[in-house]
Structures are given as C-alpha cells and as structure tokens.
C-alpha cells in the first residue's frame, strides 16, 4: 500500500501535471527574487524551520488565527515547546537580536523558504507554503516604505505579471489604534447579533480584524463604519502622506483601503497588500508593513522596522494564469548511444570528457532500440544524438545527428565537444 501525501502539502517534481509545481519554475522564481533583492541592497538570511513557540506568541500574537489556531506546535524530547515557523519576520528579528543588533545601523535582509500553517484546505492555501520575504531594520523614513513596496512590485513586473492591485493603509501607532478600536466597537455594538460567529469572537479579542472579514454579513454591518485614517495621530498621518507621495514619485499606482488591517499583531503605521484577480478567494500575492514596536517587544532596542512576505505558490499560479513566458527545463545537449561492449567503455569516457568541458551530456545504457533512444532524446528536448559502435571506434569518428534538422555530420570523437 502506498503512503498518501499529508493534507495541504505538495511535491515540486519534474513532469508534474500541475505546471506551477515544476522545479524549473521554482528555480527561476527564486533566482529572480535573489537578483531583485540584491539590486535593492538586501542580503540573504536563513533561519531554522522551527523556533521556540514563545517567539511567535510574543510577536505575531496569541489572539491571531496564525498563532491561536494554525501553528504546528510540539514538545521536544527535552520538554521544550517548539513550533514550525508560520512566518519569517519574527525569526529574522530573533536572529538579529541573538547576533547583536546595533542602534544606528541599517539592516536589509531577505529570505526564501517554507512556512507552516495548519490551514483549512482550499485552493491557494497550503499547510506548507513558501515565502519570499524582505525586512528592513533601523529606518523610520517613509521612503523606505515606498522602496520596499517598489522592490516587490518590480519583482512582479520582471516576472511579467499584470493587472495587480496594490492596496495600502495606515493602522497608526498604539494610541491611534486604541482610539479607533473604541470607536469601531461602539459602532459595531448594536450590530453584534448580525456579525458572523468569527467576528463576534473577534469583537472581544481583536475587533480590528472584523474589518477584513470576507463574510457578506460582516461586510454589510461595516457599511458606514468609522475609518482608521480619521484616527491617526498627526505624526502617523504625516508619515502616511509622505509614503503616498514617495509611491507616486516612483510611478506606483495604489488604492487606499482603510479596511486593510492584516492578520498579524505586530504591525504599526503602513500596511499593504498586493492582490491578483486570477487567484480567486485567496488572492493575496504578498503583503506586509511597518512593525516599529516589535524589536523592543522582543527585548531589543527601540528600532523601527518594516517588511513583506510573498507566497511563491501564488506567484507561480498567477504567472501561469496570466500566460507569461516561462523558462524551459535544463536538458543535456547530447545523447550518446553506445552499440556493443567496447563502444560502451569508450562512450562512458567520452561522456566524462564532455562533462569536464562543461557540456551537459547523457548516455543510453539500457540497450534500447535506436528508435526509442531517438524518441527519448526528442521528448527531453536533447538537440544532438550520436550512435557509436565498433565501426565508429575503428574510424575514430561518429555521426552527430541534429534532431531539429534531421541532418547528420561526421566528426572526430575528440572533437564532439566543439559541435554540440
Ligand atoms: P502573511 O500575509 O501572513 O504575512 O503572508 C505573506 C504571504 O504568504 C501571503 O500574502 C500569501 O501570498 C502567502 N501565504 C500565507 N499563507 C499561505 C498559505 N497557507 N498558503 C499559501 N500561501 C500563503 C506574513 O507572513 C508576514 N511575515 C509578512 C511580513 C514580513 N510583514 C512584515 N514583514
């Protein structure tokens, strides 16, 4: 009996029927993520796949769905509570704090890797998903907010994506939010009974999260609700205006969405999200914002910071949905088909010599019929094939068949490398 794949995970495997699970696409996307990051002055960070549970409780927040319902938490053999990382921001800050963070320094880091959330199974939602994320630590300038958003938008542009919606909002500082929370609760108090069950619970624990509920009853109840933008302190308001100005000067179109609050507790001031119509209900390609209080909350100095995370699965699915041009899999330049034992030995050596010269080559060792070897070369997109038997060994030459033109030319064995 074969063992089933766990729910909510997938394999990245050559030749899969789901195009977005093709390893060539993953490598291509990761390469472009790295290139764009380097262009914007970000360096790579790799943190462990698991952390102390407390890290996420104290950053993402115990009342959030991510920590409250979706974390893969376990007790290890030493009795410690550990969790598979559900996101990448808290680990990056933890890493920086453990290596010694310096006030006055600017840190720009990016990461690529798996995140784990026990989510309800749904298109575009996985229990292991992969993020490209970037974090900037030590700068409160509004231009940094714009630079970070620009990085993500320029990644999407390089990948050929179109028709994306960049939404931005400011959720202010703690005081702005406290005032707004009170006003929102007052507004919703009389409508409590019509809110969805989730939102009724959130009314007690995290009322701002009601704002981005997709439930139609909640949406209806929110008509005429106060806007957070009217509750921002003047410093937060000035910051947000400057972010918008900087985005405009970078020619980045955006929509103001005062309902955008995001599902993690650490945010302050600017928050943003980029959506794509192709993705259906789970339409967020990426999102992030400022988290100016988090570093202090985790025991570090009071340093401002901001970042984003973007889902690689959703980016790939959108690329395919929008029909952007995709890279093809790497393949050998030449397939060598030996005929007979002597040729086999010489061909094996030839193969090694070609590879030493940096030429990707493959050998047919299964004594297949010539026809099936040619078919294999064709299906793998191998442009050249050569069949080498006793005759060829004696003459020291071989016929190099070019698959595309169905032509062949005779070349000396030691010169094959120059012709493929
Ligand atoms: P997040 O919005 O929870 O933010 O996740 C970022 C992105 O990861 C989402 O926009 C989505 O594309 C993708 N994603 C999240 N969950 C799943 C899932 N279950 N399946 C597939 N894709 C998913 C964060 O994680 C923050 N750490 C972002 C951040 C960095 N904020 C500041 N710095």
Q: Mutate which of 129, 136, 270 to test ligand 1's pocket (most atoms within 8 Å of Cβ)?
A: 129
* Distance between CA atoms of residues 155 and 174, nearest Å: 32
Pairing of strands 43-44, 107-116: parallel
Q: Kindly report the pTM of this predicted structure.
A: 0.95
DSSP 172: -
Q: What is the pLDDT along the chain (420 residues), one digit of tens a residue?
A: 899 999 999 999 998 999 999 999 999 999 999 999 999 999 999 999 999 999 999 999 998 899 999 999 999 999 999 999 999 999 999 999 999 999 899 999 999 999 999 998 888 999 999 999 999 999 999 999 999 999 999 999 999 999 999 999 999 999 999 999 999 999 999 999 999 999 999 999 889 999 988 899 999 999 999 999 999 999 999 999 999 999 999 999 999 999 999 989 999 999 999 999 887 777 899 999 999 999 999 999 999 999 999 999 999 999 999 999 999 999 999 999 999 889 999 999 999 999 999 999 999 998 767 888 888 888 889 999 999 999 999 999 999 999 999 999 999 999 999 999
How far, in Å, from the CA of 37 to the mean position of ligand 1?
18
- For tokens 């972010």, the residue is 243
Exposure pattern of 208-244 as b/e (b: 16+ CB <10 Å)? bbbbbbeeeebeebbeebeebbebbeeebbebbeebb
Closest C-alpha residue for ligand 1 atom 15: 311
Q: C-alpha distances in angstroms, 288 versus 13, 242, 272, 380?
A: 30, 18, 6, 41
Both tokens of residue 279? 């993705």
Does ligand 1 come within 6 angstroms of the Cβ of 310?
A: yes
Lookup: tokens for 52: 């102390």
Q: Which two tokens stand for residue 102?
A: 């310096």
CA 235 – ligand 1 centroid, Å: 28
Say what the pLDDT of residue 121 is: 84
Binding site membership of 89 for ligand 1 (Cβ less than 6 Å): yes
Count other C-beta atoms under 10 Å from residue 332's C-beta: 21
Distance 221 CA to ligand 1 centre (A): 27
CB-ligand 1 contact for 314 (6 Å cutoff):
yes
Closest CA relative to residue 263, chosen from 287, 243, 279, 239: 287
Stretch (H or E) spanning 84: strand 81-84
Q: Give the up-direction half-sphere exposure of residue 213: CA atoms within 13 A in the CB hemisphere.
A: 24
CA of 267 to the centre of ligand 1 (A): 13
**CB of residue 125 inside a 6 A radius of ligand 1:** yes
Alpha carbon of 131 to ligand 1 centroid (Å): 7
Nearest-atom number in ligand 1 for the CA of 66 is 3
CB within 8 Å of 375: residues ≥ 6 apart:
none
Q: Determine the Cα–Cα distance for residues 158 and 174; give it in Å rounded to an integer.
A: 37
Determine the residue of 284, 297, 307 to mutate for testing ligand 1's pocket, defined as the one with the most ligand atoms within 8 A of the Cβ atom. Answer: 284
CA torsion 135→84→17→371, rounded to 10°?
100
Question: Is the C-beta atom of 265 inside 6 A of ligand 1?
Answer: no
Residue located nearest, by CA, to atom 11 of ligand 1? 311
How far is residue 146's CA from residue 242's CA, in Å, rounded to a whole number?
A: 9
- Per-residue H/E/C for 215-255: CHHHHHHCCCCCCHHHHCCHHHHHHHHHHHHHHHHCCCCCE
Ligand 1 centroid to 39 CA: how many Å?
23
Among 114, 149, 309, the mutation site with the greatest number of ligand 1 atoms within 8 A of its Cβ is: 309
């Amino acid at each position: 009996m074969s063992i089933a794949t766990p729910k909510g995970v997938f394999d990245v495997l050559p030749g899969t029927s789901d195009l977005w699970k093709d390893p060539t696409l993953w490598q291509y996307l990761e390469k472009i993520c790295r290139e764009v990051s380097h262009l914007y002055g970000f360096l790579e960070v790799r943190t462990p796949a698991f952390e102390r549970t407390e890290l996420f409780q104290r950053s993402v927040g115990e009342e959030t769905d991510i920590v409250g319902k979706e974390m893969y938490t376990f007790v290890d053999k030493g009795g410690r509570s550990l969790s598979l990382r559900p996101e990448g921001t808290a680990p990056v800050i933890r890493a920086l704090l453990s290596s010694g963070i310096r006030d006055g320094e600017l840190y720009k880091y990016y990461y690529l890797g798996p995140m784990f959330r026990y989510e309800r199974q749904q298109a575009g939602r996985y229990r292991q998903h992969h993020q490209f994320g970037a974090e900037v630590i030590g700068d409160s300038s509004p231009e940094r907010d714009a630079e970070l958003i620009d990085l993500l938008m320029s990644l999407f542009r390089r990948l050929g994506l179109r028709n994306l919606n960049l939404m931005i909002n400011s959720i202010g500082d703690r005081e702005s939010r406290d005032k707004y929370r009170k006003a929102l609760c007052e507004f919703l108090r009389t409508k409590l009974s019509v809110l969805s069950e989730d939102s009724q619970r959130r009314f007690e624990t995290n009322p701002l999260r009601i704002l981005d509920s997709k439930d139609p009853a909640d949406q209806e109840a929110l008509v005429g609700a106060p806007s957070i933008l009217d509750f921002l302190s003047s410093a937060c308001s000035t910051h947000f205006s400057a972010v918008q100005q900087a985005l405009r000067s970078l020619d980045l179109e955006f929509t103001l969405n005062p309902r955008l609050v995001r599902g993690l507790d650490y945010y302050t001031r600017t928050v943003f999200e980029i959506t794509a119509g192709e993705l259906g209900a789970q339409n967020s390609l990426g999102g992030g914002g400022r988290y100016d209080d988090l570093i202090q909350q985790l025991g570090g100095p009071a340093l401002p910071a901001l970042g984003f995370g973007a889902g690689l699965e959703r980016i790939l699915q959108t690329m395919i949905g929008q029909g952007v041009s995709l890279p093809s899999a790497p393949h050998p330049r030449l397939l060598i088909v030996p005929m007979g034992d002597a040729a086999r030995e010489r061909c094996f050596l030839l193969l090694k010599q070609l590879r030493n010269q940096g030429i990707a080559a493959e050998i047919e060792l299964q004594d297949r019929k010539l026809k099936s070897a040619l078919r294999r070369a064709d299906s793998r997109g191998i442009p050249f094939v050569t069949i080498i038997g006793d005759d060829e060994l004696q003459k020291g030459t071989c016929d190099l068949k070019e698959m595309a033109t169905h032509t062949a030319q005779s070349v000396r064995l030691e010169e094959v490398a120059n012709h493929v």
